[in-house]
């Protein structure tokens, strides 16, 4: 066996060892994930059963346990909105519907129930001032952030594929395709980045209790300026000493106890 053959044998063994390690790690992770998944599934089915039996409090507890474990799913959030609404908790119901809408803005069931919940809210929702971002990215409400990111990646990949073919094959016919692909990729990339910005800023919230006094300062003794009711949507402008500074509509600004507002 010469030196070259030894080297080849060594490479083969090294490959097997790495493959075995990866497989064992994958199996260990899969087992853990399966155990977690089984527990979540059981809790979920318990929540569904409780909802069916009219025990909405138990359904809320089950679904919130799953959500607290880190699962982020519009269907789960939708169920939480339903359970809260049936349980008489209008504020949390609208909060979970709003969270679900962030992930699946085009779900018809979700939109129907969300509209129903909003019809029960006391405070009239005033149209927020049209921001330049909202005008520029008007189409972003038509697709979920995940779908937008995927479309951006696909069109970006297609554009560079066409560019590569053009570079190596000198196909002039592809010139007409490259520009539209680039335009679409840029639009969806900008939209996706704005979605990331919005998710990171997380500035909106929902009033959770039946009534939430909005005060002029950071204490319960501060003058009550106005009162918001469950389900009212506010913009959170800041946070200080256990209070949120909120903006409801033109001229209606003040401080609300932090626990009275749920961030969307």
Partner 1 sequence: MIHSAGKIIVAALAVMAGAAWLLSASAFAASVQASVDRNAAALGESIQLQVSATGVQQGDVDVAPIRDFKVISRGESRSLHVVNGRQTQEITFNYTLIPVKAGNLRIPPLEVRTPEGTYSTLKIDVVVSEKQQGESDEQDIFVLAEVSNDAPYEGEQLVYTFHFYRSFRISDARLQKPAFSGFTAEQIGKEQSDITVIKGRRFHRNTLSFILIPLSTGLKTIEPAVLEYDVIQRDHRGGSSPFDFDSLFGGPFFNTGRVETRTLQTRPIDVAVRPLPDYHGPHPFSGLVGKMDIRAALEKHALKAGESATLTIVVEGSGNIPDAEAPVVDLPDGFKVYEDAPREDIALDGNGYSGKKTFRMALVPLEPGDYRLAPARLTYFDTASETYETRETAPFSLTVLKREAEEEMRVVPAPVAGNGPAKQKVAFTGRDILPIKDDLSALENQRPLPLPAFLGLLGVPAILFVLAGGIFLFTRKSDDPADIMARRARISLKSAGAAGIEDDAFLSCLYRALVSAILSRAGVQGESLTWTEAEAILGPADVPVEVRQAASALLERIESARFGGKPLDARERNRLLSETRDVVRRIS
- Burial (CB < 10 A; 0-12, 13-18, 19+), residue 114, is buried
In the complex, minimum distance from the CB of residue 73 to partner 1, in angstroms, rounded to a whole number: 5
In the complex, minimum distance from the CB of residue 82 to partner 1, in angstroms, rounded to a whole number: 5
Q: Quote the distance between the C-alpha of residue 68 and its chain's center.
A: 14
In the complex, minimum distance from the CB of residue 58 to partner 1, in angstroms, rounded to a whole number: 13
In the complex, minimum distance from the CB of residue 10 to partner 1, in angstroms, rounded to a whole number: 28
CA dist 38 → 34, 44, 46, 103, 163 (Å): 6, 10, 12, 24, 47
In the complex, minimum distance from the CB of residue 8 to partner 1, in angstroms, rounded to a whole number: 24
3-state secondary structure 129-190: CCCHHHHHCHHHHHCCHHHHHHHHHHHHHHHHHHHHHHHHHCCHHHHHHHHHHHHHHHHHHH
CB-wise, 74 or 231, nearer to partner 1?
74
Q: Quote the distance between the C-alpha of residue 234 and its chain's center.
A: 18
CB-wise, 222 or 235, nearer to partner 1?
222
CB-wise, 186 or 249, nearer to partner 1?
186
118, two tokens: 């909003």
CA dist 14 → 20, 22, 25 (Å): 10, 12, 17
Residues near partner 1, by CB under 8 A: 37, 40-41, 44, 48, 51, 59, 66, 70-76, 78-79, 82-83, 85-86, 103, 109, 112-113, 116-117, 145-146, 149, 152-153, 156-157, 159-161, 163-164, 167-168, 189, 192-193, 196, 199-200, 221
Find out whether 216 and 254 touch, Cβ atoms under 8 Å.
yes
CB-wise, 71 or 227, nearer to partner 1?
71
CB-wise, 174 or 247, nearer to partner 1?
174
In the complex, minimum distance from the CB of residue 130 to partner 1, in angstroms, rounded to a whole number: 26
CB-wise, 6 or 196, nearer to partner 1?
196
Q: Quote the distance between the C-alpha of residue 199 and its chain's center.
A: 7
């Amino acid at each position: 066996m010469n030196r070259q053959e030894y080297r080849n044998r060594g490479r083969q063994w090294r490959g097997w060892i790495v493959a075995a390690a990866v497989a064992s790690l994958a199996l260990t992770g899969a087992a853990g994930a399966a155990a977690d998944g089984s527990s979540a599934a059981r809790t979920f089915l318990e929540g569904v059963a409780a909802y069916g039996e009219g025990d909405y409090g138990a359904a809320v507890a089950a679904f919130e346990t799953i959500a607290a474990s880190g699962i982020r799913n519009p269907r789960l959030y939708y169920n939480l909105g339903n359970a809260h609404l049936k349980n008489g908790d209008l504020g949390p119901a609208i909060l979970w519907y709003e969270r679900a809408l962030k992930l699946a803005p085009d779900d018809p069931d979700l939109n129907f129930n969300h509209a129903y919940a909003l019809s029960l809210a006391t405070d009239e929702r005033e149209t927020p001032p049209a921001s330049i971002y909202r005008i520029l990215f008007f189409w972003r409400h038509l697709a979920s952030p995940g779908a937008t990111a995927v479309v951006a990646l696909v069109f970006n990949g297609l554009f560079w594929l066409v560019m590569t073919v053009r570079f190596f094959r000198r196909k002039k016919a592809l010139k007409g395709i490259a520009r539209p692909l680039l335009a679409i990729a840029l639009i969806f990339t900008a939209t996706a980045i704005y979605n990331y910005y919005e998710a990171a800023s997380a500035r909106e919230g929902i009033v959770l209790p039946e009534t939430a006094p909005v005060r002029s300062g950071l204490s319960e003794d501060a003058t009550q300026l106005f009162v918001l009711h469950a389900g009212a949507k506010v913009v959170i402008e800041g946070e200080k000493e256990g209070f949120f500074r909120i903006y409801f509509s033109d001229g209606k600004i003040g401080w609300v106890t932090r626990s009275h507002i749920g961030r969307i």
